Amino acid sequence: MRMTCELKLVNILPTTLDTREAAIRLADMVRERNECKQIVLDFSGIEFISRSFADQLYKELYIDDKDSFDIVIKNADAGIIRMMDSVSKTQTKRRVVKTTHLVTSYDDLEQMESFVMSW
């Protein structure tokens, strides 16, 4: 049975989270708890997160691993919530766009002119 796990961030990370590396480290810690279906990130005691931290955390947990587990944010102050919210609005997984182009050959200039002028 998969359970809920809680990570109290102030016990494992600095109170100011301002690097992409810190976000990757946190995401790795979350992934290590593969027995958990829901991960609660307790932000009590965390004073600040930078946009780069929030951006990387969002990419790591909400885009790359979105189907592996549910993330719950707990005890985050308004500034942290605003930062996560603003970053979430700018993140989308890129879709591959496949395009094919028709290549047409002509035996002579008249055939090509006929095609071009038909528009």
Residue 43, in any domain of the structure: yes
Give me the pLDDT at residue 20, please: 96
CA distance 10 to 41: 10
Residue 101, in any domain of the structure: no
pLDDT tens digits for range 30-78: 989 888 889 999 999 999 999 999 999 999 887 766 667 888 999 999 9
Q: What is the dihedral of CA 69, 73, 79, 82, to 10 degrees?
A: 50
Cβ-count burial of 90 within 10 angstroms (0-12 exposed, 13-18 middle, 19+ buried)?
A: exposed
pLDDT tens digits for range 10-26: 999 999 999 999 999 99
Burial call 67-79: b when 16+ CB within 10 Å, e when fewer: eebebeeeebeee
Residue 61, in any domain of the structure: yes
Question: Whole domain around residue 20: which residue ranges?
Answer: 3-94
pTM here is 0.70
Residue 83, in any domain of the structure: yes
What is the number of structural domains in the chain? 1
Instruction: Return the CATH number at 70.
Output: 3.30.750
Residue 44, in any domain of the structure: yes
